Amino acid sequence: MAIQFESLDYDIAGRCGKLAVGKKVIKTPALLPVINPHLPLITPSEMQKMGVGAIITNAYIFSQSMQFREQALAEGLHKVLDFDGVIMTDSGSFQLSVYGEVSVSNLETLSFQRDIQSDIWVPLDIPTPPSADHATAERELAITMERLREAKATFGDDAPIAAPVQGGIHPDLRKRAAQEIGDMGCTFCPIGAVVPLMEGYRYRELVEVVMAVKKTLPPSACVHLFGAGHPAMFALATAMGCDLFDSAAYALYAKEGRYLTSHGSYKVDELVELPCACQVCRSHTAGELRTSGERERLLALHNLYVTLAEIARIRQAITDGTLWELVDERCRGHPQLLSGYRELLAHTDTLEASDRATKRRFFYRGNESCLRTEVVRYQKNLSRLRLGRDVLIAFDGNMQEGFSDLLLFKPPFGPYPKELKETFPIGQSEIPDWDEAMVRQGCKGISSLIKSHPKSRFVVACNARWVKVANEELPGVEVVT
Q: Which of 276, 314, 443, 479 binds Zn ion (CB under 5 A)?
A: 276
Q: How many residues bind Zn ion (CB under 5 A)?
A: 5
From the CB of 438, what's the least distance to ligand GUN, in Å?
A: 40
Which residues make Cβ contacts (< 8 Å) with residue 351, sequence separation at least 6?
A: 12, 13, 239, 240, 344, 373
Q: Per rule CB under 6 A, is residue 5 in the interface with ligand GUN?
A: no
Distance CA 298, CA 393 (A): 60
**Min CB(219)–ligand GUN separation in Å:** 22
Tell me the angle at which helices 106-115 and 134-155 cross, rounded to the nearest 10 degrees: 40
What distance in Å separates the CA atoms of residue 43 and residue 314, rounded to the nearest whole number?
A: 25
CB of 327 to ligand GUN, least distance (A): 23
Measured CA to CA in angstroms, residue 120 lies from 19, 123, 164 at distances of 12, 10, 12
Of 80, 181, 195, 281, the residue at the interface with Zn ion (CB under 5 A) is 281
Active site residue 115: no
| Residue 140 sits in the site that holds ligand GUN (CB under 6 A) | no
Asked if 341 contacts 272 with a C-beta cutoff of 8 angstroms, the reply is no
DSSP 245-313: E---HHHHHHHTTEEEETTEEEEGGG-SS----SHHHHHS-HHHHHH-TTHHHHHHHHHHHHHHHHHHH
Does 148 contact ligand GUN by CB under 6 A?
A: no
93 binds, among ligand GUN, Zn ion, none (CB under 5 to 8 A by kind): ligand GUN
What is the footprint of ligand GUN within residues 193-222 (CB under 6 A)?
A: 193, 195
Among the listed residues 72, 38, 69, 35, the one whose alpha carbon sits nearest the alpha carbon of residue 55: 35
Task: Verify binding: residue 302, Zn ion, rule CB under 5 A.
Answer: yes
Interface pick for ligand GUN out of 226, 234, 395, 434 (rule CB under 6 A)? 226
β-bridge mates for residue 89, sequence order? 57
Between 230 and 444, name the residue whose CB sits nearer to ligand GUN.
230
Min separation Cβ 300 and Zn ion, Å: 11
- Kindly list the distances between the CA atom of residue 147 and the CA atoms of 92, 105, 151, in Å, as whole numbers in the listed order: 13, 10, 6
Torsion of CA 60, 301, 257, 337, to 10 degrees: 80
Q: How far is the CB of 38 from ligand GUN (least distance, A)?
A: 18
Nearer to ligand GUN, 184 or 357 (CB): 184
Binding site partner of 161, from Zn ion, ligand GUN, none, Cβ cut-off 5-8 A by kind: none
Number of residues that bind ligand GUN (CB under 6 A): 13
- The minimum distance between CB 76 and Zn ion, in angstroms, equals 34
Sign of torsion, CA 322 328 331 333? Answer: negative
Q: Which of 9, 11, 90, 183 is catalytic?
A: 90
CA atoms of 453 and 475, how far apart (whole Å): 16
Write down the least CB distance from residue 184 to ligand GUN, Å: 17
- Which residue's CB atom is positioned nearest to ligand GUN? 192
Contacts of ligand GUN in 102-131 (CB under 6 A): 122, 125, 127
DSSP 65: -
90's contact among ligand GUN, Zn ion, none, with CB below 5 to 8 A by partner kind, is ligand GUN
278 binds, among ligand GUN, Zn ion, none (CB under 5 to 8 A by kind): Zn ion
Residue 349: its H or E element: helix 348-354
Return the one option of ligand GUN, Zn ion, none that residue 229 interacts with (CB less than 5 to 8 A, by type): none
- In whole angstroms, the minimum distance from the beta carbon of 39 to ligand GUN comes to 17
Which of 227, 231, 412, 442 touches ligand GUN (CB under 6 A)?
227
The verdict on 93 binding ligand GUN (CB under 6 A) reads: yes
Q: Which is nearer to ligand GUN, 12 or 221 (CB)?
A: 221
Gap between the Cα atoms of 335 and 208, Å rounded: 17
Four-point Cα dihedral 189, 331, 30, 321, nearest 10: -100
Q: Using CB under 6 A, which residues numbered 159 to 198 contact ligand GUN?
A: 164, 192-193, 195
DSSP states of 124-187: ------TT--HHHHHHHHHHHHHHHHHHHHHH-TTS-B---B--TT-HHHHHHHHHHHHHTT--
> Per this entry, what is the length of the chain?
481
* Contact set with ligand GUN (CB under 6 A): 90-91, 93-94, 122, 125, 127, 164, 192-193, 195, 226-227
* Contact set with Zn ion (CB under 5 A): 276, 278, 280-281, 302
- Cite the active site residues: 90
